[in-house]
Chains A and B, each alone.
Chain A
Amino acid sequence: MPDALRKSEPLLNVERLRKVYESSTGNVEAIGDIGFRMDAGELVCIVGPSGCGKTTLLKCIAGLLKPTSGVIELGGRKVTAPPPNMALVFQEYGRSLYPWLTVRGNVELPLKHKKLSRPERDRLVDDALAAVGLEHATKSYPWQLSGGMQQRVAIARAVAYQPEVLIMDEPFAAVDAQTRADLEDLVRALHRDRGMSILFVTHDIDESVYLGERVIVLSKSPTWVQEDLAIDLAPERDQITTRALPRFTELRTHVYEQIQRAKRGEAVRPEAA
């Protein structure tokens, strides 16, 4: 195990993150003060009321946005540009896949600049497409597929990239409920079978409790971490039985109440030490 992944050092470390958007009509403080840690092999969900700056937070972590102040470290290294050991799955699958490339071409594109031999690259692509159950559609174009299948392609692209952390920004917000359940189980399977570290942002409370081992509840904007909740459900989860557990209901009610408090602004931000 590389040094950066030792238990003492978290995979992802966010400290006192602040982001202010400057504009001519006045400054908007999107993120007030966010701090959390994530260890290698964890599946962490981030929920918050709408407009709380979830996407801003992700873009900062992904190195796409420059934070106003604060520290983001991935694998012990400070994030200033998109780090090579991270992959992103966007909400808008239709705009994140390239329609002029086939499914295979899309998955293969980020691997082109990694110095891999041809067979090695093919193996990674085949493996990733098999992992999302799309080995039969490699020659299709994304626009020939349904929304759920397109998002699978985007996930396969991220899996083939072999990131240390996979960041997903409300990836299933635009697909129907049944497809969504399938995709949730796919994410669980990737985490369980491949030990992938996943940071999953969602506005869906049920989804966050069903998927996560930890749920981080964000306050409304300017955002801070209102609660960091451990989800003590068994690692083997099932859409029917897990969701019917009394503990699941308790946790989801708890998160729901937290979100309601966040919306009303009742939660009081602790004074920074």
Chain B
Amino acid sequence: MTLYTSTVVTPRRPSRVWAKFGENTAYALGLPIILLVIWGVWSSISPAPFFPSPLVIAEAFIETWVGPAFFADVLPSLGRLAIGIVLAVGLGIAAGIVIGLVQWLRELLEPVFEFFRAVPPPVLIPIVAVLVGANDLMKVVVIVAGAIWPVLLNTIEGVRATDSVMTETARSFAVTSGERLRYLVLPSASPRIMTGVRQCLSIALILMVISEMFFSSSGLGYRIVYFQRNYLIAEMWSGIVLLGLIGVLLAVIFGFVERRVLRWYHGIKEVERA
């Protein structure tokens, strides 16, 4: 055995899947970590009462939200959010299909929809509160009333844009109307519907918070306003962080569902790009 060998020893490359996963994670978390470090350093150099350091906020986060507050404030909020989203998506798709398929109905309703869509949903809160009372129902109604529009309008557009040859194919094979809905109209509109659902999620989250800021005694929105009014600044920030995390969670769930539902759609796009 000589000291010098001509063989170049290269370390075994780790499996490519893991390398890719690691790379993606580094990209996803890289900027947040850098920002947190800058924020942490900045807040220790020049402390400001309204911008506590991330460590203080993390501490407040655990103290505030891990424990009974999770059941008293967070869960009810999430429950109303979930019911609101399910209703908005369900009603939006159902009504959108009917309106998209019936031309006179669409022509009758579309100008009205444009008006209602333009009305900022938070202004409905006082009206709805008077109509149904300051309760859970009011919050759900506000979420649905604001978040249904993107789903509804996108579904109408998607249903309307069903390819004429595909429709003729279904007609020529005497496909029943139920099957036509299930195998033609819905899947063909699904890319537009998913676009609507994505917008619906962020609107629903906003309305969840805002609806809890008025006439309310529990919920995330209520808590955040309460902390702010009582100068519990770190706690207030921790509530905002929690909202951000809920938003990320929604996006992750949506992405998972979207990849399943629109597998064919992304496949076509990939083939077209290649």
Using a CB–CB distance below 8 Å, which chain A residues touch chain B? 59, 62-64, 82, 84, 86-88, 90, 92, 95-96, 98-101, 109-110, 112-113, 141, 143-144, 157, 161
Q: What would be 29 A-B contacts, judged by CB atoms less than 8 Å apart?
A: A63-B172, A87-B173, A88-B168, A88-B173, A92-B165, A95-B163, A95-B165, A96-B165, A96-B166, A96-B168, A98-B183, A98-B184, A98-B187, A98-B188, A99-B265, A99-B267, A99-B268, A100-B187, A100-B188, A100-B264, A109-B173, A109-B179, A109-B183, A110-B175, A112-B179, A113-B174, A141-B264, A143-B271, A161-B173
B169 within 8 A of A: yes
CB pair A113–B175 under 8 Å, yes or no, is yes
Nearest Cβ on chain B to A271's Cβ, whole angstroms? 35
| Least CB separation from A83: chain B residue | B174
Top 5 closest A-B pairs, CB basis? Answer: A110-B173, A95-B165, A100-B187, A88-B172, A100-B264
B259 within 8 A of A: no
B7 within 8 A of A: no
Q: Which bracket fits the contact residues of B? A: 20 to 34
Within 8 A of A (CB), among B174-200: 174-176, 179, 183-184, 187-188, 190
Chain A residues with Cβ below 8 Å from B166 are 95-96, 98
Provide the bound-state CA to CA distance between A96 and B168, in Å.
8
Chain A residues with Cβ below 8 Å from B171 are 64, 82
Chain B residues with Cβ below 8 Å from A109 are 173, 175, 179, 183
Chain B residues with Cβ below 8 Å from A101 are 183
CB pair A143–B165 under 8 Å, yes or no, is no
Provide the bound-state CA to CA distance between A175 and B117, in Å.
46
Instruction: Known A-B contacts: A64-B172, A88-B173, A90-B168. Give 10 more (CB < 8 A).
Output: A63-B172, A84-B174, A88-B172, A95-B166, A96-B166, A98-B183, A109-B179, A113-B174, A143-B268, A161-B173
Chain B residues with Cβ below 8 Å from A161 are 173
Provide the bound-state CA to CA distance between A109 and B172, in Å.
12
CB pair A143–B172 under 8 Å, yes or no, is no
| Least CB separation from A63: chain B residue | B172
CB pair B264–A64 under 8 Å, yes or no, is no
Checking A82, A98, A113 against B176 with a beta-carbon cut-off of 8 angstroms, the contacting residue is: A113
Chain A residues with Cβ below 8 Å from B190 are 100
Checking A64, A84, A144 against B267 with a beta-carbon cut-off of 8 angstroms, the contacting residue is: A144
CB pair A87–B184 under 8 Å, yes or no, is no
Provide the bound-state CA to CA distance between A62 and B174, in Å.
11
Chain B residues with Cβ below 8 Å from A90 are 165, 168-169
CB pair A99–B264 under 8 Å, yes or no, is yes
Chain A residues with Cβ below 8 Å from B265 are 99-100
Provide the bound-state CA to CA distance between A99 and B169, in Å.
13
Provide the bound-state CA to CA distance between A161 and B169, in Å.
13
Chain B residues with Cβ below 8 Å from A100 are 187-188, 190, 264-265
Within 8 A of A (CB), among B117-137: none
| Least CB separation from B269: chain A residue | A143
Provide the bound-state CA to CA distance between A100 and B175, in Å.
17
Provide the bound-state CA to CA distance between A62 and B170, in Å.
12
